[in-house]
Structure 1
């Protein structure tokens, strides 16, 4: 992946930061897109676009076109931007379902649609999405989140079928990621069984690499030790 251009959405989050640093360490050039304020000045290897609402298709296209203009190409899109909410169906707010769909499905959809024209002219065209093992069998309180991540799974499969032979499209399905936020929300859980961000980043970057050129339409569980 040396010299390849990676766009990473949610690049300033706990997982996005690790994926960006790992990609840079392997010689890739990185364009980060995030809803938060940008934290980095543009360099020959890295650029950040902050204050971008990826649920807005126009903003997604503007940021991705700007990244392509900065580096002259796009070789991979890694859709990490998203969100989580926990509430029961009977007692919850229907608006949470809409929010989860927007944060998890629409962000990946808008970024993918904007990136596809650029990826079609790349030798190493890749899209990697973030699904969830919790969307395979939803538990109590997981309805809105699981439904939205199931949407990401089906988006991945549909794009893979539509773009077969042109762009590979895959998704990783982590269990619980070992982040500070998850440790704070589940202080009694055994975090040693969770997936470390670096472990998940390694799988994501494999799918974005030349080594995964024959893999498309895969929903790859990354369960840690659960």
Structure 2
């Protein structure tokens, strides 16, 4: 990844931070985009002196997403990889839940990814070895109770990944998605205090797979939905 320009959306969260740090450790020039206003303490230092952060970006807004992506390309002279981590989760049954959850999760998971991808495609084509890696969900392959809205939105990310891979396969741009199970984050530990997190996927493990898909070593892989489920 040395010298490559890598954009991470949702970069201030537990997984996004791990992805950004791992990319920087591999020599990438990292751009961090997030809805939150400020990066967590120490994250920018960990990403190196060239790290470029943009907080307060609403990726559900296509205009805002385009402006943020274009700002990265202007700063670094191009973009080589887009790693879409931005998204959200809500557990609720259909009967007891709200119709608003379906709209909210579609916007947080599908629109953020599609808007970022649309904005990045022209820059990735010029890279000569462009990469897009989306974050889907293993739970979208077979939804459990209370996972309807979340699974439906992540299934949308899966189909976006497959369709875009076909759209760009002749342009030297690969498009893949990772499908994690439960990620070992502070929020998930708090929500499931009786669970055993030792079987979950760590952010660092998932980041390693994402960076493989963003590397030259994965040039022959596109349109893949890769389960990263740990021992769940």
TM-score, reference length from structure 2: 0.95
1:78-117 matches, cutoff 5 A: 78-117=83-122
Kept in 1, the 8 Å contact 2:12–2:34? The answer is yes
Root-mean-square deviation (CA, aligned residues, Å) is: 1.2
Task: Tell me by how many angstroms 1:165 deviates.
Answer: 2.6
Instruction: Measure the CA separation in 2 of the matches of 1:49 and 1:38.
Output: 8
Contact 1:28-1:45 at 8 Å conserved across structures: no
On the 8 A contact 2:90/2:150 being kept in 1, the answer is yes
Structure 2's unaligned 5+ residue stretches are none
Q: Secondary structure at the match of 1:30?
A: strand
4+ aligned runs moved over 6 Å, structure 1: none
Distance (whole Å) between structure 1 residues aligned to residue 66 and residue 53 of structure 2: 15
Aligned residue number for residue 24 of structure 2: 24
The match for 2:179 among 164, 173, 179 is 173
Query: What is aligned with 1:36?
Result: 36
Query: How many pairs are equivalent?
Result: 226
Q: State the Cα deviation string for residues 10-45 of structure 1 (Å, max 9, x = none).
A: 000000001100100110000010001133489752
**How far does residue 96 in structure 1 lie from its aligned partner after superposition?**
0.3
User: Residues of 2 paired with 1:141 and 1:21: CA distance?
Assistant: 33
2:52 to 47, 58, 63: 47
Determine the C-alpha separation between the residues in 2 that align with 1:170 and 1:43: 27
Q: Distance in 1 between matches of 2:220 and 2:95?
A: 44
Task: Give the direction of change, closer, same or farther, for the CA distance of 1:142–1:51 in structure 2 (3 Å limit).
Answer: same
- Distance in 2, matches of 1:45 and 1:76, equals 16
The answer to whether residue 167 in structure 2 is matched with residue 162 in structure 1 is yes
Helix, strand or coil: the match of 2:31? Answer: strand
Q: 1:5 to 1:67 in 2, by over 3 A?
A: same
Deviations 1:107-126 (A, max 9, x none): 00000000001001002200
The 5 Å alignment of 1:56-205 reads 56-166=61-171, 167-205=173-211
Please state whether the residue corresponding to 1:87 is helix, strand or coil.
Answer: coil
Task: Identify the residue that residue 15 of structure 2 maps to in structure 1.
Answer: 15
In structure 2, which of residues 191, 207, 212 is the aligned counterpart of residue 206 of structure 1? 212
Unaligned 5+ runs, structure 1: none
**CA distance in 2: counterparts of 1:45 and 1:120, whole angstroms:** 23
Instruction: Tell me, in whole angstroms, the C-alpha distance in 1 between the residues paired with 2:136 and 2:19.
Output: 16
Given that 2:24 and 2:48 are in contact with CA atoms closer than 8 Å, whether structure 1 keeps it comes out as no
CA pair 65-214 structure 1, distance change in 2 beyond 3 A:
same
* TM-score normalised over the length of structure 1: 0.98
